């Protein structure tokens, strides 16, 4: 506990009981005695919230960020630009060393910005978690994957909370940013943190503010995307808002951490179900001989009541393929079925199989050959264009399905020279990207465009390829049209 003042307080102190004889059955009976005595006891002082907020405004306030990945690093840089000192925490010592050299661990994040923050002594990375005591605010940005049974895996959150508990001190703010089911902050984080002996809302403060990172988005950055904030009590909300008000263009306060957790899931479920809709429309319109991309491009000219979403080879990234299952799992606790959400998940996860079927059909029609022993070149293994992020990339699933059906695969990705180790696709780790020379491309039976990176010359690619299967409409958008280009 934090330091308090000593006061003399009168309390009743028990003396040793003495036996007396009861008039009933001559049984001895204990008589309790006590008297009052005054002695010093510790009375804890209440945390001065106004003083904390004043420290935030004056930048006499150190921010700690646990998890130096796609969310943590941009947030750290935003805090440095706002004038705060930042300590970044990560268990990956190689990443810690790289950041302390001023180097970016992620391609779309500027090395110049990291180097500047390090040289100005605004930012330091460490794997020593005892330094959490040096921070005033601890922001958690760790992964929240699914288990093999597609259930929430909160291992990273739980272990992080247990680590913080060992170093938690009075007056600190703890903010969870990792996407999770509604109630995690209250039901998982708070009980663990309170094992320190400190109390949420009294001794330390607890909040949830969902990350809204969109890797590679040049229009919006961390500091220009409004931030939703919910907290455990009014004081925690005031402090959390003061922190994010200093970093972000606008904060959006909500009534509770649980509500803020639900906001994040709602945002991504909205995207998941709409992508599932256009994926299903793609299947229908393909049978009718209608180009779904042409339909969407025409429909989006309506200035109201329509928002364009686009089909693809499957969902990728950390959010959309995973987040809906966090809500469907939690909903079972309340005996609520999530048929619509789960149906969208089924449609989206089936898309890699549909793409492979279309590829096999196109190969049969164009060359009269089957998929077995066919050489397939996949363009793009990142989950979206122009970044090096492979989290949940559908390209990895495409490779597995193709090879299970007897095909030989290679890939080209201008942003990912080597496939790193992943939890779900460890057998693919170490494979290297090939060059797109004419001789290389022409040696494949079919080229499959899975990610539409801008760095690829699609005109030259189509000219060299025997057959192109395009899942992103990449060729048509660049006016590259040919009978040997098939949309899927």
Measure the CA–CA gap between 388 and 84, rounded to whole angstroms: 29
Edge-to-edge strands, sheet with 85-89: 123-126, 85-89, 62-66, 137-140, 173-176, 205-208, 227-231, 251-253
Edge-to-edge strands, sheet with 446-449: 408-412, 375-379, 446-449, 468-470, 485-487
Backbone angles phi, psi at 181, to 5 degrees: -80, 150
Nearest CA among 419, 345, 319 for reference residue 378:
419
Buried/exposed code over 17-53 (b: 16+ C-beta within 10 A; e: otherwise): eeeeeeeeeeeeeeeeeeeeeeeeeeeeeebebeebb
DSSP 444: S
User: Which residues lie closer than 8 Å to 98 by C-beta, 6 or more apart?
Assistant: 105
Measure the CA–CA gap between 32 and 142, rounded to whole angstroms: 55
Contact 415, 389 (CB under 8 A): no
Measure the CA–CA gap between 169 and 159, rounded to whole angstroms: 18
Give catalytic status of residue 80 as yes or no.
Answer: no
Beta bridge partners of 411: 378
> Given 3-state DSSP classes, what are the helix, strand and coil percentages for the chain, each rounded to the nearest 5?
40, 20, 40
Q: Is 360 exposed, middle or buried (0-12, 13-18, 19+ CB in 10 A)?
A: buried
Handedness of CA 184, 189, 192, 195 (dihedral sign): negative
- Catalytic site residue from 80, 137, 319, 475: 319
Per DSSP, the residues of 148-162 read TTS-B--HHHHHHHH
Task: Count other Cβ atoms within 10 Å, centred on residue 467.
Answer: 23
Place of tokens 């904030």: 229
On the CB side of 392, CA atoms within 13 Å amount to: 16
Joined together, the tokens standing for residue 76 give 């750290």
List the catalytic residues.
319
């Amino acid at each position: 506990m934090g330091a308090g003042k000593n006061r003399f307080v009168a309390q009743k102190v028990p003396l040793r009981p003495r036996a007396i004889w009861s008039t009933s059955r001559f049984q001895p009976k204990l008589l309790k005695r006590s008297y009052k005595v005054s002695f010093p006891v510790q009375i804890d002082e209440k945390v001065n919230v106004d003083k904390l907020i004043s420290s935030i405004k004056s930048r006499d306030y150190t921010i700690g960020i646990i998890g130096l990945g796609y969310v943590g690093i941009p947030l750290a840089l935003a805090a440095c630009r706002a004038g705060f000192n930042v300590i970044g925490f990560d268990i990956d010592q190689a990443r810690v060393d790289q950041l302390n050299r001023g180097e970016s661990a992620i391609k779309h994040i500027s090395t110049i910005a990291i180097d500047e923050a390090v040289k100005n002594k605004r930012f330091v990375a460490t794997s020593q978690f005892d330094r959490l005591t040096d921070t005033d605010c601890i922001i958690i940005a760790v992964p929240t994957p699914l288990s093999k049974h597609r259930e929430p895996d909160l291992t990273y959150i739980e272990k992080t909370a247990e680590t913080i508990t060992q170093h938690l001190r009075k007056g600190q703010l703890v903010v969870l940013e990792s996407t999770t089911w509604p109630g995690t902050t209250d039901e998982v984080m708070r009980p663990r943190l309170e094992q320190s002996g400190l109390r949420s809302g009294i001794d330390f403060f607890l909040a949830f503010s969902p990350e809204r990172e969109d890797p590679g988005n040049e229009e919006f950055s961390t500091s220009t995307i409004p931030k939703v904030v919910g907290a455990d009590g009014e004081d925690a909300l005031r402090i959390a808002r003061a922190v994010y008000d200093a970093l972000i263009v606008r904060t959006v306060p909500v009534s509770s951490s649980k509500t803020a957790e639900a906001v994040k899931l709602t945002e991504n479920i909205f995207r998941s179900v709409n992508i599932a809709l256009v994926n299903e429309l793609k299947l229908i319109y393909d049978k009718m001989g209608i180009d779904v991309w042409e339909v969407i491009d025409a429909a989006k000219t309506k200035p109201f009541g329509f928002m364009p979403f686009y089909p693809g080879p499957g969902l990728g990234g950390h959010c959309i393929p995973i987040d809906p299952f966090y809500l469907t799992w939690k909903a079972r606790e309340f005996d609520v079925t999530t048929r619509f959400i789960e149906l969208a998940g089924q449609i989206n996860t089936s898309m890699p199989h549909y793409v492979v079927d279309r590829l096999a059909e196109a190969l049969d029609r164009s060359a009269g050959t089957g998929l077995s022993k066919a050489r397939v070149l996949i363009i793009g293994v990142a989950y979206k264009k122009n970044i090096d992020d492979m989290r949940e990339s559908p390209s990895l699933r495409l490779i597995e399905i193709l090879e299970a059906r007897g095909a030989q695969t290679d890939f080209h990705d201008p942003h990912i020279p080597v496939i790193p180790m992943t939890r779900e696709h460890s057998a693919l780790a170490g494979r290297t990207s090939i060059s797109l020379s004419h001789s290389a491309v022409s040696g494949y039976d079919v080229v499959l465009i899975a990610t539409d990176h801008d760095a690829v010359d699609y005109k030259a690619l189509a000219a060299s390829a025997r057959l192109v299967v395009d899942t992103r409409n990449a060729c048509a958008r660049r006016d590259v049209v040919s009978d040997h280009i098939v949309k899927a």
